[in-house]
């Protein structure tokens, strides 16, 4: 038995049997005794001081080991942020970078001074750019009204809204890149989790970039001082310009709603990053058009049979995925051979994150077998995904390239079929599911439905039987491959 610490010492002493008073200094940590040196007894001050120094060094090493992964992560992220400084300074989210530098300083990172200098240099560049937008009189006025000299005067200079919009786009680009990395990890079989709306798809980023370009054109030259009144003025100007495009029929109400959604998203981001004191209280500036008319439309069975007969094997496989699994073009583009599990297809809808296990029809399995080898089942002739985003050479704006949509449009045009798009294949299947069992509609479409909780465990669909019964009946109703053919 060791002697309990009755002298107020940080360490306890444990004599060795037969050691004539000699023993070891130790500390109980998480129920385990850890030894830090020898001593000639409890009164051995020299041995105690040496053991105490070893104990404190052990504590420092443990704290350093605990902080090391965080220091490494922060250092790598800051290296990534500042590595593009020369190529594209707007890519740097300066407020977020400064927060990471502060955290790195708290953890004792050795590269704090380097990153601090880079951040200061970038902020100087931005302040100079902001001052270039003002007249000489405005700069003099800012200098005269500041009590702290040039430093406070620089802070008083309002930022340009265009620069803030660039920072916002940078954050959205980072969210998209993270989604790509996580998707790649999923394809490699790694289990990863991401919070709802944490990241965005390339398609969503393209929409944001398009609407953000319009917002920069409308209000980019306006000054930004971080006040609620200025934010409301900027949003109202952007709203009026967008509304004028709807009134002269240049844009649809849907496009207007997308722009207002972006303006609201931008203001929320500015407030969250302390670049806006509060969201505008006048919520009317964020009001949208009420657009309730649905474009969903079922394709008549005979028309569907015409399309089937005119299709090649690849096109027929796409039609079967739309009918059997309610697939859109994006879903077909993202389909991989690893998602096919015998008579079932394991699908996770990107928009909702809902996981569904579809029972595959015999005909669907036959056609999938022709194309599913490994990795992505279908690709464009260029090797890119069927649905991807490219940049227009003249304007530089992002554009969605949809090979499935284009194939369907040309096929219908060649056979005098009008008024339908590929998404109507999904609508056709949904219409029949409604007739068979409307409680299964949301599940078939991979929508969130709390009524289906009994079919899931930890987000994974464990009971596909109810949906399988519906899709088996669906096959009997939509078997356009039976009977007449070309």
> Which residue ranges make up each domain of the chain?
12-88, 158-286, 301-477
Tokens for 441, please give them: 């509609």
Report whether 170 contacts 91 (CB < 8 A).
Answer: yes
Cα 130 to Cα 167: distance, rounded to the nearest angstrom = 14
**pLDDT score of 1 more than 80:** no
Nearest alpha-carbon partner for 163 in 229, 94, 116: 94
Cα 341 to Cα 338: distance, rounded to the nearest angstrom = 7
Cα 325 to Cα 214: distance, rounded to the nearest angstrom = 37
Q: To the nearest 10°, the Cα dihedral for 102, 108, 111, 116?
A: 20
> Between residues 303 and 70, which one has the greater pLDDT?
303
- Can you name the residues that pair with 154 across neighbouring β-strands? none
Residue 85 pLDDT class (50, 70, 90 cuts): very low
* Rg of the chain, C-alpha, whole Å: 32
Whole-Å CA distances, 185 to 176, 188, 346, 363, 390: 14, 5, 17, 31, 24
Give me the pLDDT at residue 70, please. Answer: 82
Residue 145 pLDDT class (50, 70, 90 cuts): low
Whole-Å CA distances, 266 to 211, 220, 296, 424: 11, 13, 31, 34
Give me the pLDDT at residue 201, please. Answer: 81
Report whether 470 contacts 455 (CB < 8 A).
Answer: no
Give me the pLDDT at residue 66, please. Answer: 77
pLDDT in tens, 398-447: 788 999 999 999 999 999 999 999 999 999 999 999 999 989 999 999 88
pLDDT in tens, 454-484: 878 777 888 899 999 999 999 999 988 876 5
Give me the pLDDT at residue 486, please. Answer: 42
Cα 401 to Cα 337: distance, rounded to the nearest angstrom = 23
**pTM of the complete model:** 0.55
Given CATH 1.10.443.10, say whether it is the number of domain 301-477: yes
Cα 187 to Cα 196: distance, rounded to the nearest angstrom = 19
């Amino acid at each position: 038995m060791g002697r309990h610490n009755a002298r107020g010492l940080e360490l306890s002493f444990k004599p060795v049997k037969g050691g004539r008073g000699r023993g070891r200094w130790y500390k109980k940590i998480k129920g385990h005794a850890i030894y830090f040196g020898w001593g000639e007894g409890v009164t051995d001050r020299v041995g105690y001081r040496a053991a105490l120094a070893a104990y404190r060094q052990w504590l420092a090493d443990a704290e350093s080991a605990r902080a090391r992964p965080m220091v490494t992560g922060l250092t790598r992220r800051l290296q990534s942020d500042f590595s593009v400084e020369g190529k594209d300074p707007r890519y740097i989210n300066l407020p977020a970078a400064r927060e990471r530098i502060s955290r790195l300083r708290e953890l004792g990172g050795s590269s704090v001074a380097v990153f601090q200098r880079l951040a200061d240099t970038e902020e100087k560049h931005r302040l100079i750019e902001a001052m270039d937008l003002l007249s000489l009189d405005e700069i003099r006025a800012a200098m005269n009204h500041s009590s702290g000299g040039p430093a406070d005067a620089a802070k008083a200079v309002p930022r340009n809204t265009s620069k803030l919009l660039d920072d916002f786009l940078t954050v959205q680009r980072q969210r998209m890149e993270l989604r790509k990395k996580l998707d790649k990890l999923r394809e490699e079989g790694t289990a990863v989790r991401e919070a709802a709306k944490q990241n965005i798809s390339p398609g969503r980023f393209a929409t944001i970039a398009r609407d953000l370009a319009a917002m920069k054109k409308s209000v980019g030259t306006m000054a930004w001082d971080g006040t609620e009144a200025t934010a409301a003025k900027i949003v109202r100007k952007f709203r009026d310009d967008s509304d004028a495009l709807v009134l002269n029929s240049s844009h649809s109400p849907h496009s207007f709603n997308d722009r207002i959604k972006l303006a609201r998203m931008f203001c929320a981001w500015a407030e969250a990053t302390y670049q806006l004191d509060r969201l505008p209280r006048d919520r009317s500036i964020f009001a949208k058009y009420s657009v309730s008319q649905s474009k969903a439309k079922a394709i008549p069975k005979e028309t569907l049979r015409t399309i089937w007969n005119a299709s090649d094997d690849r096109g027929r496989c796409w039609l079967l995925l739309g009918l059997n699994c309610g697939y859109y073009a994006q879903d077909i583009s993202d389909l991989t051979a690893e998602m096919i599990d015998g008579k079932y297809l394991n699908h996770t809808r990107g928009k909702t994150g809902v996981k569904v296990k579809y029972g595959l029809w015999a005909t669907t399995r036959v056609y999938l077998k022709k194309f599913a080898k490994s990795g992505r089942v279908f690709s464009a002739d260029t090797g890119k995904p069927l649905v991807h985003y490219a940049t227009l050479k003249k304007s530089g704006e992002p554009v969605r390239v949809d090979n499935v949509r284009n194939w369907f449009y040309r096929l219908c045009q060649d056979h005098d079929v009008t008024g339908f798009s590929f998404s109507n294949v999904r609508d056709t299947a949904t219409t029949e599911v409604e007739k068979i069992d409307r409680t299964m509609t949301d599940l078939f479409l991979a929508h969130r439905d709390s009524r289906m909780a009994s079919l899931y465990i930890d987000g994974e669909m464990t009971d596909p039987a109810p949906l399988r019964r519906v899709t088996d009946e669906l096959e009997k109703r939509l078997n356009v491959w039976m009977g007449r053919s070309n």
